[in-house]
Amino acid sequence: MSKRKIIIDTDPGQDDALAILLALASPEDLDVLGIVAVAGNVPLHQTLNNARKLVELSGRTDIKVFAGSERPLRQTLVTAEHIHGATGLDGPDLPEPTYPVEEKSGVQFIIDTLRTVDDVTLVTLGPLTDIARAFTEAPDVVGRVREVVMMLGSWRELGNVSPTAEFNAYVDAAATDIVLRSEARLTLLPLDATHKVISTPERMQVLRDMGNRTGPQAAIMLKASEAFDMARFGWAGAPLHDPCTIAYLLKPELFSGREVNVMVETESELTLGMTVVDWWKSTDRKPNATFMTEADGEGFYQLLFERLRRLP
Ligand code: BDR
Ligand code: CA
């Protein structure tokens, strides 16, 4: 099977970090054409710094890192330092990165790559600002996308940033709307799936005992960000939201869901960013996405451990 060509758009974030490491540990399956940092969990200069630190940690010096959007299309940026810490990647003591940032903007990189390379999959781990800008500035690229695989939205699990909205869908609701209406092939890993992959103490111990540098560093990262989820939801650890996207690409059978219509609320103050999922076909709106609601937690962690063990 040929490798899947992907661009990762991300706002690291500890769970973004695990997703990036999982992708970079899987070179036989994934050809990572570039990583674009976007403002989200923390402002852009920090997500960019964190993306560079993670590439250095992985030892993959062939990866190109780009700067994406500094702010959402219309909203004021809402960040999540209360979960991820002031740097967005609190916990591990990673050196300040010396890794270069490409000169081209992240949005231009996405446009140019889609225009010149066939079959590219976009993987989004943060707000959809860069993807929406690329689709708006260059509508010709939409039909060139193989699939957009997104950690985004929720249905039965409701919200984590507000009573009804998931963080990535909420932070740039206008961008979410553009992508959901784009007619690109969309796959969503929403809270309904990601809440089934919890980093329990036993799973954290496997990371600590991995025998390399990356495993224990990953455990320290997750420890630093799990308190919020444990307190709010009463779980034994934190859900690994963003790595579900990469795990889906590596082993789609770990997830299942339905072809449904998904729209997002862009106006209401009360429900901004809420994804409205027509699970029961109550409307005649056409399905526009595959919406995953089930995840095999054991299978997910086996895959994660097997791959992270390969890194330095
Ligand atoms: C999403 O929000 C961010 O805080 C996480 O990194 C993840 O992408 C979960 O709602
Ligand atoms: Ca994220």
Residues spanned by the domain of 140:
4-308
Please indicate, yes or no, whether the overall pTM of this predicted structure exceeds 0.85. Answer: yes
Residue among 167, 176, 240 to mutate when testing ligand 1 (max atoms within 8 A of CB): 167
What is 69-122 written as a DSSP string? Answer: -SS-SSSPP---HHHH-TTSS-SS-PPPP-----SSBHHHHHHHHHHHSSSEEE
Q: Which residue has the higher pLDDT, 1 or 298?
A: 298
Atom of ligand 1 nearest to the CA of 12: 6
Name the band, by pLDDT with cuts 50, 70 and 90, for residue 228: confident
Residue 288 half-sphere exposure toward CB, CA atoms < 13 A: 21
9 lines ligand 1 (CB under 6 A): no
CA 242 to ligand 2 center in whole angstroms: 6
Please tell me the predicted confidence (pLDDT) of residue 229: 87
* 242 touches ligand 1 (CB under 6 Å): yes
Across 155-186, b (16+ Cβ under 10 Å) vs e yields bebebbbbebbbbbbbbbbbbbbbbbebebeb
The per-residue pLDDT of the chain, averaged, comes to 96
Q: Whose CA is nearest to atom 10 of ligand 1?
A: 167
Ligand closest to the CA atom of residue 191? 1
Measured from the CA of 41, which atom of ligand 1 is nearest? Answer: 4
- Whether 125 is in the pocket of ligand 1, judged by its Cβ within 6 Å, is yes
Burial class (CB in 10 A: 0-12, 13-18, 19+), 127: buried
Structural domain count of the chain: 1
- Which bound ligand lies closest to the C-alpha atom of 190? 1
| pLDDT confidence band for 49 (50 / 70 / 90) | very high
Q: What is the tens place of the pLDDT at every residue in 136-188?
A: 999 999 999 999 999 999 999 999 999 999 999 999 999 999 999 999 999 99
Choose the residue to mutate in 8, 10, 11, 188 for probing ligand 1, maximizing ligand atoms within 8 Å of C-beta: 11
CB 131 within 8 A of CB 9: yes
- Is pLDDT above 80 for 198? yes
pLDDT 10s digits, 229-268:
898 889 999 999 999 999 999 999 999 999 999 999 999 9
Report residues near ion ligand 2: CB below 5 Å: 11, 13, 16, 125-126, 242
What pLDDT is attached to residue 1? 65
The residues annotated as belonging to the active site are 241
CA distance 120 to 146: 5
Ligand 1 centre and the CA of 160: distance in Å? 9
**What is the pLDDT at residue 40?**
97
In percent, how much of the chain has pLDDT > 70? 100
3-state helix, strand, coil split of the chain in percent (to 5) is: 40, 20, 40
Expressed in angstroms and rounded, the spacing between residue 191 Cα and the centre of ligand 1 is 9
CATH number for the domain harbouring residue 244? 3.90.245.10
Q: Is 73 a pocket residue for ligand 1 (Cβ < 6 Å)?
A: no
The answer, yes or no, to whether any atom of ligand 1 lies below 6 A from the CB of 147, is no
